[in-house]
Structure 1
Amino acid sequence: MSQRLRSKWDDLGERLLSGAVLVGLGSVCVWIGGTVFHLLVAAVCGMMVWELVSMLDTRRERSPLILGVAAAAAMLVASEVPASFALPLVLAPSMLGLGQMERGGVTYASFAALILLAGYGMIVLRDVYGAQWLLWLILVVVTTDVAGYFAGRSIGGKLLWPRVSPKKTWAGAIAGWVAAGGVGVAYAMLTPAHAGLMGLSIAASMASQIGDIAESAVKRRAGVKDSSNLIPGHGGLFDRFDGMLGASVFILIAGQITGFPPGIGPALP
C-alpha cells in the first residue's frame, strides 16, 4: 500500500473504535429514555458550549466553564418543563454569553442557540415519538457522515467549499444524500410512514452537512483543527455532533410544515 493511500485511511481504526463507543453509549441512553437521556443531552450540550467558547475567546479563562455549566443546567431544566417555558431557558445561555465573551460574542450566541435548540429537538423526538424516530434521525446523520467519508476519500473530485473545508467533496456530499435516502426508504417500508420520508431524510442529510460545514467555518475562524481532543480520531464533541445540530433543528422546523412522522403524526408540538 502506497504512502499516499495509507495517509487517506490512517485515522480509520481510531475513528471506528471511538465511534463504536459513542454509538454504544448513546444507544443505551436513547433506549432507556427519560431522565437518563435528558442528562446525556444536557451534558453533551454543556461540553459543546465549553468547546465553542474555548475556540472563540481564548482571553477569558473562566468563561468556557461558566457558560458550559450554564448551558447544561438550562438544557436539563428545559427538558423537564412545558415547551413554552423551555424555550426561554434554551436561549438564555446565548444571552448570558454576550456579557461574558470578550470577542466572538455574536458567533457564540448564534451557535449556542443552535446547540441547545438541537438538544431540545432530540429530547422532543425521543419523548414524544419514541426511540425509533430519534434512531431514524441518528441513522440519517451517521450514514451521511460515513458515506461521505468513504466516497470522499475513495472518489475525491471537486471540493464542496475549499476555503472552509479542504476535505469535503461533492462526491461525498452526494453519497451522503443517497445513503440518507436509503434510510428513509427502509423506514417507510418498516413503519406506517409514507414515501415522503425519503425526501425528508435527504433534506435532513443536507441540513446535517450544513451544520458540519458551519462548524468548520467556526474552526477556521478560530484557527484550530479540532474543537477539542476529547474523542480520539474525531476531535471534540462539537466535531462529532455538528451534523446532528443541523439535522435536529431542521426537523423542529420541517415537522411544523410536513407533519412528523410523515403520514403518521401531526406537526411537532
Structure 2
Amino acid sequence: MTWSNLQLRILSGLVLAPPVLAVAYFGSPWFNIFLCVLAALLAWEWERMCGNTFGVPMVKIALWSTIAIFMMPDRPQFAGAAIALGLVSVWWSANRFNAKGDPKWSALGLLYIAVPCISLVIVRGGGIQGPETLLWLLAVVWGTDIGAYGFGRIIGGPLLAPRISPRKTWAGFFGGILSAVGLACAVGLLYEISNFVMLAGVSVGVSIISQMGDL
C-alpha cells in the first residue's frame, strides 16, 4: 500500500508539473490566472477546515485574493490595500452570514492564501532570473513533499513532532531535505549554476520551512 500511494503521488506530480511549469514559464496573464484558480481552491479548502461550506466568506477570500494577484505587478500598494480591505470584508461576511467557524479564522484565510500567491507573482516577475528562481522553488517544494512522504512511509521510525503531527517522522524530514536538494541541484545543472554550495544551503532552508508549514 505504501509503494502504491508513493507511486500515485509521483504520477500525480508528473501529470500536474507540465501545465504548472508552462504557465510559470509564459508568465502573465497565464500565471496570474493559474494563481487565481489556485486561490479559489485553497479558499474552499480553508473554509472547509474552518467548519464552513460554500458561502459568501469563501467567495470573498477568492475574490480579494484575485484582486491582489492582478494588482501586484503594476500597483503593489493597491494589492496591499486589497488585502487589508479583504480582511475586514471577509470577517464581516463570516459574522453576517452566520458561518459555523470563528469569523477571525475565515479572515486569516485571506492572508494564508493571498500572501503566498502574490509572493509567487513577485518571484516570477523578478527580472531575467524570475522563471529560473520559480522553477527552483517549485522543485524544492515538490521534492520535499514527495521525499518526505516516501522516506517517512518506507523507513518509518521516530516521530518528528508527535503532539502536532502523529505521522511525520525524522526519516521523512531528512528524506524531504535530501530530495529537495537533489532536485534543486538538477535545476542548477540545467541553468549552469556555479555555486552549488549556496544553492544547496538555501534549498535546505526552504525545505525545512516547507515541512514546518505541513506539520
TM range (shorter): 0.7 to 0.9
Equivalent residue letter for 2:147 = A
Matched residue, 1:84: 77
Contact 1:78 1:90 in 2 (8 A): no
RMSD of aligned residue pairs (Cα, Å): 2.4
Going from structure 1 to structure 2, the CA distance change for 1:109 and 1:20 (only over 3 Å counts) comes to: same
1:191 aligns to what SS in structure 2? coil
The gaps in structure 2 that reach 5 residues or longer are none
Alpha-carbon shift at residue 85 of structure 1 (Å): 2.4
User: 1: distance between equivalents of 2:6 and 2:178?
Assistant: 22
After the TM superposition, which residues 210-221 of structure 1 pair with which residues of structure 2 at under 5 Å, given as runs? 210-213=212-215
Distance 2:54 2:136 in 1: 39
Identical positions, percent: 28
- In 1: Cα distance, 2:79 partner to 2:162 partner: 39
Which of 198, 205, 229 is matched with 2:207 structurally?
Answer: 205
- State the distance in 1 between where 2:174 and 2:54 align: 41
Alignment of 1:1-269 (within 5 A): 6=1, 8-58=2-52, 61-101=54-94, 102=99, 103-128=101-126, 129-186=129-186, 190-191=192-193, 195-213=197-215
Q: Displacement, 1:31?
A: 1.4
Give, in angstroms, the shift of residue 158 of structure 1.
1.1
Cα deviation code 1:133-157 (max 9, x no counterpart): 1000000111111111111011101
- C-alpha contact 1:43 1:72 (8 A) present in aligned 2: no
Distance 1:42 1:33 in 2: 13
Question: Which shows bigger deviation, 118-127 or 70-79?
Answer: 70-79
Task: Work out whether residues 10 and 146 of structure 2, in 8 Å CA contact, stay in contact via their aligned partners in 1.
Answer: no
Q: Deviations over 1:232-254 (max 9, x none)?
A: xxxxxxxxxxxxxxxxxxxxxxx
Contact 1:79 1:120 in 2 (8 A): yes
After superposition, the Cα gap between the structure-2 partners of 1:9 and 1:107, relative to the gap in structure 1 and judged at 3 Å, is: farther
- In structure 1, the gaps of 5 or more residues are 1-5, 214-269
Secondary structure of the residue aligned to 2:166 is strand
TM-score calculated relative to the size of structure 2: 0.83
Instruction: For 2:197, give the aligned amino acid.
Output: A
**Amino acid in the other structure paired with 1:9:** W
How many corresponding residue pairs? 206
Amino acid at match of 2:74: V
DSSP 3-state at the match of 2:157 = coil
**Contact 2:68–2:78 (Cα < 8 Å) also in 1:** no
Given that residues 183 and 201 in structure 1 are in contact (C-alpha distance below 8 angstroms), is that contact kept between their aligned partners in structure 2?
A: no
